Amino acid sequence: MASFNMISCYHAKAKGAVILAIRRYERATPEGTRDLLFEECAARREVESTLSRLFKARGYNRVITPTLEFFDVFDRESAGMPLETLYNVTDARGRLMVLRPDNTLPIARIAATRLRDETIPLRLFYSQNVFRRNPGLTGRRDETAQSGIELIGASGLRADLEILTTAVDALEQCGAPDFRIEIGHAGFSGALFQALEADETLREEIAELIEMKNYAALNDALDQAGDTQTARAIRRLPRLFGGEEVLDEAAALYNDQRALEPLAYLRNIYRLLMQLGLQNKVNIDLGLVHRGNYYTGVVFRGYIEGSGVTVLSGGRYDGLLGEFGSPMSATGFGVEVDALASAMCARGDAAAPKAADVLVFGVDGCEVRALSYARSLNEQGLVCENCVLDSAEAARDYAARKGIERLDVVKEESVEIVTVNGTKGGVAQ
């Protein structure tokens, strides 16, 4: 019996330890996530609403893709998503699923399947969360809200200009006081990397270092590729930033035809953007090198003052729809809603929680009449709280603490209107 008691005690302690271990996290959010409160919620709603209005005004229609997607949608080299960044789960049949890490790929799936017989070009927009594992010290969150557009079945200058100008308007209409759109071309960097005498691992490392603008490490990595014209041109990529003169320097560095054609196209687009008066909003950045992803033409990113993260990114991806069995040209961009919302809060532009216009309290026996009265005030456009406290005195104290200036006390034959922290306002029948 003593042994049994000892075993029971052991199991009880073990169970308690498990419960404690579980409860350690019940008052916290997982790493990479956060709760949004009041002003933050208002700011996110404002950004999403602003972007939705803009996209609808340009003829785009909203689509919503599942939060859970089959792993196969993202299991492709062009996706450029390391497997360790995906949130993996399995369904009831044991099939591998992921929490949506990207919005463009699921929309490409929709366009290639359910919308394949629709008239093109397709104009689609979205506003939904994405999920990616990020190292703890990057400052990036694992769950973020994105809004964006995809123009599918359209190639050429007109489509690229539409997407770029809409990107500018997106940041402008979201109230960003100082922002920049940096544009490059995947064809130029692609031509350089294709000619570079290096294996795929080294190319990936070099591309990452260019994105990080880590000049010292980039030089060390390129030393492994030899002192060639291509290597020298790639060394300069992170510094090829500015106006049209950047294109002249790039052409002098590497004059292969496969590189010159993207530069000529980029020059044309840049000049047209200048004609639109965007010289203070758009720069050329030939160091926009995307690692192993689906971009094939013009690429761009947006930045705002006071934020250390990219708030907008996009470009042309003409080869992606073909991977889903329906070859079509496509271009688009996504906006990091949370980044813009955080910037809005930091500027003090987010709407603070607003106190109700009226607090309605029904005396004993008048609870139903109070609810009906509150509804009538709602119909008049007033924000009205129904008081659930037990006395008019408690209701008045609550209104004072919440900053509600008017208290309506509903009685059997009348409604007493009280100005909180002031004098009685009168009696309404």
For residues 238 and 218, the answer to whether their CB atoms sit within 8 Å is: yes
Nearest Cα neighbor of 399 from 427, 364, 358 is: 358
User: DSSP label at 335?
Assistant: E
Tokens linked to 387: 């008081």
Q: Is the pLDDT of residue 425 over 80?
A: no
Order of all β-strands in the sheet with 241-242:
61-62, 122-131, 143-152, 330-336, 312-316, 298-304, 179-185, 282-285, 241-242
Domain ranges of the chain: 38-347, 358-428
Nearest to 296 by CA among 274, 280, 281, 314: 314
Q: What is the mean pLDDT of the chain?
A: 86
Report the relative pairing of strands 415-419 and 406-410 from DSSP bridges.
antiparallel
Count the neighbouring beta carbons within 10 Å of the beta carbon of residue 36.
14
| Chain center to CA of 21 | 33
Report whether pLDDT(369) > 80: yes
Q: What are phi and psi of 123, to 5 degrees?
A: -115, 110
Closest CA to 405 of 361, 367, 359: 359
Query: Taking the C-alpha atoms of 96, 99, 102 and 106 in order, what is their torsion angle to the nearest 10 degrees?
Result: 60
325-358 residue pLDDT tens: 999 999 999 999 999 988 888 888 777 788 999 9
Helices (H), 276-391: 320-323, 337-347, 367-379
* Weakest-pLDDT range from 23-32, 37-46, 110-119, 199-208: 23-32
Is the pTM for the entire model greater than 0.75? yes
What is the CATH topology of the domain spanning 358-428?
Answer: Rossmann fold (3.40.50)
For every residue of 153-205, DSSP letters joined together read: S--SHHHHHHHHHHHHHHHHHTT-SSEEEEEEEHHHHHHHHHHSSS-HHHHHH
Q: With beta carbons less than 8 A apart as the criterion, state whether 373 and 416 touch.
A: no
How close are the terminal C-alpha atoms of the chain, in Å? 78
Q: What percent of the chain has pLDDT over 70?
A: 89
Question: What is the spatial order of strands in the sheet that 415-419 belongs to?
Answer: 384-386, 358-362, 406-410, 415-419, 424-428
CB atoms within 10 A of CB 340: 30
Residue with tokens 């005396």: 363
Q: Which of 5-9, 43-47, 79-83, 233-237 has the lowest mean pLDDT?
A: 5-9
CATH of domain 38-347: 3.30.930.10
- Indicate the pLDDT class of residue 225, thresholds 50, 70 and 90: confident
Residue 7 confidence (pLDDT) = 42
- R_g (Cα) of the chain, nearest Å: 29
Looking at per-residue confidence, does 351 or 170 come out higher? Answer: 170
Cα 363 to Cα 44, 95, 369, 418, 420, distances in angstroms:
39, 59, 10, 14, 17
